[in-house]
Amino acid sequence: MWYVRESFTKLVYPFLLTSSEESGFLEICDAINRTAAETESPFWREVAIRDDELDNVIPYVKRYVKRPENQRRFSVREAWMTSLQAMRTSRMKEDDPAFRFRAIDLHVFFNGVGFLVFEIEPVYDDALLTIEWVQNVNADLASLTRGRPLLRVSTPHSERESSHDDPYAGSIYVPRTFTMRTLVSRLLDPLMSACRSVKIDPMVDTFLLAYGAVQLTLEDDVPDPDAAFQSFAAQHLTVLRKTLSAQNSNHFSQQIFGDPEHNYMPYHNVIHTQSLEGGFVIAYDNGASHFQGRPSAAMASFRKHYFLMMLLALHQRMSILRYATGAADAALLSERAQKLRALREQIYDFTSRCYFSQASISEERDQLYRRWQRAFNISQMYDELIEEIHDIDDYLAGVERERELATKAQELRQDAQRTKLVTYVSFILLPVSILVNLIQAIPVIQTWWMHGFLSFRMGAFFALTFVVFIFIIILIISRFARNHQERR
């Protein structure tokens, strides 16, 4: 009989930050830090990524993760977490082991992708934990629509004591009975109140993504523990990664254990499973030193190093979905060219910063990172995004060509108008020029013009000049009115 000696589950709530400002990322981070500085009992605190969390990560990825301009991590203060240290769901009986929220973290990335991560683990006591207990708790907490209510099982007396001793307990109120959807809202709503221009768009609406691990131990000795372990894992792997309840184990017990698409077994006593819905690790204590104690070194590595491989790939997936949605929304706008240019630059920035095919120099961890990329369809989605970029480039190039052609056509029309105006003026002045030349060329006409009809000549000259001047003024006014009408 297999029992659970140690277990944890991380439930991930992905969301997108949309802001009327240039960067919702900077605004939300500044708001959290500003609230922490101005409030006597702040709720969130910023926690830098430590080097020990990036063990065996390649240098480029390590620099990317650690730089605050790329991503920031905030954690709920431990003092406030005291109110979530003994919990049960409505499915559980009074004598069932309780669970606790070990940590609640908020990851915010430079491109407005965010993750709210809840880490739960059993409240360890003398009772033996079963895999069914883990499955039912995960199923109750992961579902946002059909999840069971959570109940705090600490006594009112202990709560009064903790509230009296804890200056952070009242910063955000959570009732004694609540759901995970309520908890998500209570955690994120204060951030939105501090950032009026920032809006949160959830990327899940029915269930939270799960990543967890269980370390098993055998109650009795068996001749072939590896065979027993594989038989046990074949029955529970799919249920765990899909966060289904224990009653589904029989239905999924016929799943092929050697499924290469979802299951990965780097060692005889460790099995990883990944899918679009989440992943899990099942391991058993084979006597090696890193499986000893609680928490064991192996479980600590699953909690920190292996979860990071999932988080990096999940950020890539959510980023690609964000950009694809942005391109679809921009197509509906009148100023789509400007929006698409900005979107193209954002995608280039994403590619240069955080789209990489290798994340770790550890064979097992890098294999897991690549498997998460396959599970999340990253390569296919990225190729489609690049094709969309090419379409955007072609569209913007076409817009630029149309603009250039329109500019040239406008210049040609203006040149034609100027040429036509010169032609009109020349046509008017041509008879005058011919008459002057005739007078100068024929002596008789010149004599007659100079001596015989002086008074008539002056009157005719002024009359002709006045007619020409009026004609030119009328022509200029009519052309100006026509050009103004064309521009409108």
The candidate with the shortest Cα–Cα distance to 340, out of 408, 416, 400, is 400
Share the mean pLDDT of the chain.
81
Position 165 scores a pLDDT of: 45
Residues 6+ apart with CB under 8 A from 294: 5, 6, 124
Structure token pair of residue 378: 């990253």
Buried b (16+ CB within 10 A) or exposed e, 171-198: bbeeeeebbbeebbeebbebbbeebeeb
Position 161 scores a pLDDT of: 41
Please tell me the distance from the alpha carbon of residue 356 to that of residue 413, in angstroms, as a whole number. 52
Q: By percentage, how much of the chain surpasses pLDDT 90?
A: 37
Q: Within 13 Å of residue 203, how many CA atoms lie on the same side as its CB?
A: 23
Position 279 scores a pLDDT of: 94
Position 158 scores a pLDDT of: 42
User: Is residue 235 a contact partner of residue 244, using CB atoms and an 8 Å limit?
Assistant: no
- pLDDT for 369-403, tens place per residue? 999 999 999 999 999 888 887 777 777 777 777 77
Q: What is the band of 239 on the pLDDT scale with cuts at 50, 70, 90?
A: confident
Task: Give the predicted TM-score (pTM) of the model.
Answer: 0.79
Q: Is the pLDDT of residue 482 over 80?
A: no
Lowest mean pLDDT, pick from 132-141, 147-156, 194-203, 357-366:
147-156
Please tell me the distance from the alpha carbon of residue 44 to that of residue 61, in angstroms, as a whole number. 26
Element (H, E) at 441: helix 378-441
Three-state SS annotation for 75-135: EECHHHHHHHCCEEECCCCCCCCCEEEEEEEEEEECCCEEEEEEEEEECCCCCCECHHHHH
Q: Is the pLDDT of residue 439 over 70?
A: no
